[in-house]
Amino acid sequence: MNRRTTLTFTTYATQKLPEEKVFKDPIHRYIHVRDQVIWDLIKTKEFQRLRRIKQLGTLYLSFHTAEHSRFGHSLGVYEIVRRLIDDSFDGREAWNNDDRPLALCAALLHDLGHGPFSHSFEKIFNTDHEQFTQKIITGPTEVNSVLRRVSEDFPQQVADVINKTHENKLVISMISSQIDADRMDYLQRDAYFTGVTYGQFDMERILRLMRPSKDEVLIKESGMHAVENFIMSRYQMYWQVYFHPVSRGGEVLLNNCLKRAKQLYNEGYTFKKYPADFIPFFEESMTIEQYVDLDEAVVVYYLKAWINEDDAILSDLSRRFINRDLFKYMPFDGSIITITELTDLFIQAGIDPNYYFVSESFSDLPYDYDRPGSDRQPIHLLRRNGKIREISSQSLVIHSITGINRQDYKLYYPKEFISDIEDDQVRNAINSILAVSYTHLTLPTTPYV
Ligand code: NI
């Protein structure tokens, strides 16, 4: 029998769910998922693991509600890119909608390789979250098998976008640039969950005024003040939240805790609570599976157990982290005494500078454009006449901070260790130096060269 059928070919890349799924979200109200591939990626165990990795690591020790996860942030970045495509780009000449699955998958997966308390882990165990993001996407994982259903080379393409090596510069700039979906989500999300007011800006307006071009996302010139606001929000979030000295104190403690555990392991110390899950990290030989297995719940479990260790340093540092008994911090500018001289004084006082004296420096460059000494991709404004202008040549506010790098130094040490120093001379010397460097503090701003 001859039956006429109409076949509609839909590939997996563009296949829609029978019904849209929505996630309730405090930043975007709702996150909409209509694509099968996105839904399948969210369900993988590697993506679900991001629920157990906090977006701001140890910052909850100073901002008690900053317990939000990388899972929420990743969904948020996906949602911003989805809206950018579906509401602003679709139908415009410079946008090829065949790139939609690539942009959406890269947005969703851009932070996939973050480990527990990322910064501490990277510092102590030489891991690199960007490298693990690549490995999880291209290696033998559930995420990889979902992406391979699109096409054999699709995992590599998604990895290349995240790694900024893909030939499609427009898609890269949607996810990583000086005004990208990543920053637009984390500034608002981190502001919301820390309770500060700095991270707010008019994202609706910025999204509406974004335009695709061959190599980058442009912003119509009428959006300039909204971008100024975004840049200032970012600047203030860095100094008020991300570099908050008390917040950094939590990270200092965790770093030293992990450093001590690794040192003890290398020395053949007999742990009461054997750190089985950490061995691949101590030996820097972890597989993708071992990496994905370790989340923050596991780390905190060990830290709690290590309070009962015989090693006084590991026990003390673990207790301090778990019970939030942070080191004291002091501003430091190096003008009175060098770190080496101060370290010598700590050694004379019998304080182990490897674990109880830390100098930290932070720096941030709020905005720059590509010129000698800088490789930043500029923010470009699209004028009514179709011409393109770099934003600092148009905006007074952005011009005034362009290329300026702000730096800050802090010293961390346990306050009671100083008052317990028996040698009066050493104690007084340390106290006076810490006091002097405080009054002489300036916040250096150095021109970027
Ligand atoms: Ni991110």
Kindly give the distance from the C-alpha atom of residue 368 to the centroid of ligand 1, in angstroms, as a whole number: 20
Amino acid letter, 216 = E
Query: What is the H or E stretch that residue 124 is in?
Result: helix 118-125
Kindly give the distance from the C-alpha atom of residue 132 to the centroid of ligand 1, in angstroms, as a whole number: 14
Rg, C-alpha atoms of the chain? 25
Kindly give the distance from the C-alpha atom of residue 83 to the centroid of ligand 1, in angstroms, as a whole number: 17
Residue 283: phi, psi to the nearest 5? Answer: -90, 0
d(CA 381, CA 233): 19
Kindly give the distance from the C-alpha atom of residue 316 to the centroid of ligand 1, in angstroms, as a whole number: 33
- What lies within 8 Å, CB to CB, of 346 at 6+ separation is 353, 356, 357, 413, 430
Kindly give the distance from the C-alpha atom of residue 185 to the centroid of ligand 1, in angstroms, as a whole number: 8
Kindly give the distance from the C-alpha atom of residue 109 to the centroid of ligand 1, in angstroms, as a whole number: 9
- Tens-of-pLDDT digits for all 449 residues of the chain? 445 554 556 799 999 999 999 999 999 999 999 999 999 999 999 999 999 999 999 999 999 999 999 999 999 999 999 999 999 999 999 999 999 999 999 999 999 999 999 888 888 888 899 999 999 999 999 999 999 999 999 999 999 999 999 999 999 999 999 999 999 999 999 999 999 998 889 999 999 999 999 999 999 999 999 999 999 999 999 989 999 888 889 999 999 999 999 999 999 999 999 999 999 999 999 999 999 999 999 999 999 999 999 999 999 999 999 999 999 998 877 777 888 888 998 898 889 999 999 988 888 888 988 887 778 899 999 999 999 999 999 999 999 888 888 888 889 999 888 888 888 888 888 888 877 655 544 444 554 43
E-assigned strand segments in 109-156: none
Kindly give the distance from the C-alpha atom of residue 247 to the centroid of ligand 1, in angstroms, as a whole number: 19
State the DSSP code for 277: G
* Own/partner pairs, 117-121, CB within 8 angstroms, 24+ separation: 117/54, 117/57, 117/58, 117/251, 117/254, 117/296, 117/299, 118/53, 118/57, 119/57, 119/251, 120/57, 120/58, 120/251, 120/254, 120/255, 120/258, 121/258, 121/281
Kindly report the pTM of this predicted structure: 0.92
Token pair 């790098």 is found at 405
Token pair 């404004």 is found at 381
Tokens of 262: 């690794």
Amino acid letter, 314 = L
